[in-house]
Amino acid sequence: MKVVVGLGNPGKQYAGTRHNVGFDVVDYLAGAPGVGPFRSQFQALVAEGTEGGEKVLYVKPETFMNLSGRAVRQLVDFYKLPAEHLLVVSDDFNLPLGKLRARAKGSHGGQNGLRNIQEQLGTDAYPRLRIGVGQPGPGEAVDYVLSRFKPGEKAAAADAVAAAAAAVLVWVRQGIEACMNKVNGPEPGAERGTRNAERSRDAKRSEKDDKAKRSEKKDD
């Protein structure tokens, strides 16, 4: 069984905010044919479906963001769930709007839901998928994540939710490595480093060819 937990704050007043994109991804996935209705369990709303013959739970904690770990802990304990069978989907204001980043483990990065999950589970070794919601100005983080997307941002946000939902399904079917390969772009400087390495190899080949040609001339 796999469990997908989307993070957000309950209540209509928070619907559509940047902090709730995790909920949006779970709602998107739960709207697929064959997924049952949400039911209140484990201090969360839980919908059950199947993907590739495997049972999948789509979860939205009913606690506020900073207590998200309570629901996750109850689910993990009840189903005796291995950490690698849990995927947490959250917003991240350290990433540009629409950028996705998947990781098998890692720090909470200041995201309060991930922070509480780490505290409740006693480990940071669980897969997570983060969705960039744009970057706030200095001292504006709290108000920013609780704000809604501007009209010019809504299309990019909707595309990110759809892309994140597709990435979740890759994780369900193939695991976190395949999910990471799908969504993670090259790290900063990686492309430049690759180009430099290619240039270095080309230069060495050219130097070797020149030496071979000089050797042939000497033999002649």
**Marked catalytic residue, from 2, 18, 19, 60:** 19
Say whether 19 is catalytic. yes
CA 41 to chain centre: 24
Active site residue ranges? 19
